[in-house]
Structure 1
Amino acid sequence: MTATYPINRAGIGCLALLFSPLAWSHPHSFIAMQTTPVVSNDALTGLKMVWTMDEITSADLLYDAGNAMPDTPVWKKLAAEVMANVLAQHYFTEFWHQGNAVKFENLPPSYSLARSGAQAVLTFVLPLAQPQPLKGQTYTFSSFDPTYFVDMTYKNAQALSLPDTLTSRCKLTLQTPKPDAALKNFAQALDKADAPPESMDLGRQFAQTVTLSCQ
């Protein structure tokens, strides 16, 4: 299953620079992810995502926010800037059902940016264009930066959670790839100004896959 979503490399570069202009190798920015399916009328309508950025990545955003209180115009402006970069990359996410790509809405119904200690946390709902049935269905999704400038990772299976209405009949499974040493060394050798060949699809080779299966 290979997606054909267009890759806006300028958008990825802007996101990476916005996040962390000081690092020197790939990946040079790190996002710890948490995800919960969003359900309405017994159908899957989206994914609630919480992306926690590493401290170096967060530094510029938190500096710009200063001592502003949550939900003030400063935070809303920063959230809109970050979210615009995420949207430019199709949420950095692919979602599949029976071998077919599931489309997303162009705009999230909600999003926010907040401070957690020395880290910036982006929370948003990734909306599916059409509600998807749950009974007897299996879905897979992955979130990754195609260039691997940004490493996007679930720390463990506990970073995935089900809403109470699904716990008795659905399960989430996390699969983490194991790239060989040569691929890891190649990524680590890339300078921050380098971009891997597009045909290499570097980020996908490091991307985790989540499976949602329901009875």
Structure 2
Amino acid sequence: MLHYNRCGIAALGLIIAFSSSIVCAHPHSFIDMQTSLVHQGDELTGLKMRWVMDEITSADLLYDAGTAKADSVVWKKLAAEVMANVLGQHYFTEFWHQKQPVKFENLPPEYHLSRQGHQAVLEFILPLAHPQALKGQRYTFSTFDPTYFVDMYYDSEKALIVPAELAAQCHFELYTPKPDASMQAYALSLDKADAPAEEMDLGRQFAQTVTLICQ
């Protein structure tokens, strides 16, 4: 069974029993993301996400998995527990069309947890509640931890993938904010005994925004 603390990915429920001696300055954990479009014809039906956790965050998950095979009950149980926490936070994602929020289905059609060297990898499909037209449309989305305990980031636009059959029609643009020095200093000053003021919406200050543009 997973045991969560208040550091790092506590919000995600991915960290297991970190030592209390670790100082949890923001951000404490890191998730390297990759996202690709899921579609049916000319309609967007979801986003396929791949989250690679940093080695420290991954350590306890991989310890619990031990030497179990990839398709074992152990991995499936760990995947279900991690996914349940992600679902509890609405996939940590906001999706917008014409300044209106786009709703998600409550359950992903598929998800999977695996090992990549010393890192844990969570893969899942974030399903839209209703298919969305692609032609001539523009969508934006962001994936972030509101508390900024976890830095969830795309390394570059190469981490955003349009299927070959849509490449002539759609493309992604990635915007990475640059909070001012005082905001960065404030975030770095927080430790495990602190929580950012809710009204600061700290995670949003550092959240990347992805725009999908289709002709």
In the superposition, the TM-score normalised over structure 2's length comes to: 0.92
| Structure 2 residue matching 1:148: 3-state secondary structure | coil
Correspondence for 1:5? none
SS of residue paired to 2:177: coil
* Aligned residue-pair number: 205
Report the alpha carbon displacement of residue 110 of structure 1 after superposing the two structures with TM: 0.2
Query: Aligned residue for 1:83?
Result: 83
Kept after mapping to 2: 8 A contact 1:43/1:134: yes
8 Å contact from structure 1 (residues 27, 150) kept in 2: yes
Q: Which residue of 4, 15, 18 maps to 1:18?
A: 15
Letter in 1 for 2:157: A
Deviating beyond 2 angstroms after TM superposition, the runs of 4 or more aligned structure 1 residues are 12-23
Instruction: Check the 8 A contact 1:28/1:192 in 2, yes or no.
Output: no
The AA in structure 2 aligned to 1:130 is: H
SS of equivalent to 2:112: strand
Native 8 Å contact 1:16 1:149 kept in 2: no
Which whole-Å CA distance do the structure 1 matches of 2:209 and 2:125 have between them?
A: 19
Deviations 1:91-139 (A, max 9, x none): 0000000000000000000000000000000000000000000000000
Using the alignment, how far apart are the partners of 1:187 and 1:176 within structure 2? 17
Pick closer, same or farther for the CA change 1:212–1:44 going to 2, 3 Å.
same
Taking only the aligned residue pairs, the percentage that are identical comes to 68
CA distance in 2, matches of 1:196, 1:184: 12
2:161 alignment partner, SS class: coil
Structure 2: runs of 5+ lacking an equivalent: 1-5
SS state of the match for residue 87, structure 2? helix
**RMSD between superposed Cα atoms in Å:** 1.5
Distance 2:17 2:100 in 1: 34
Q: CA separation of 1:29/1:17 partners in 2, compared to 1, >3 Å: closer, same or farther?
A: same
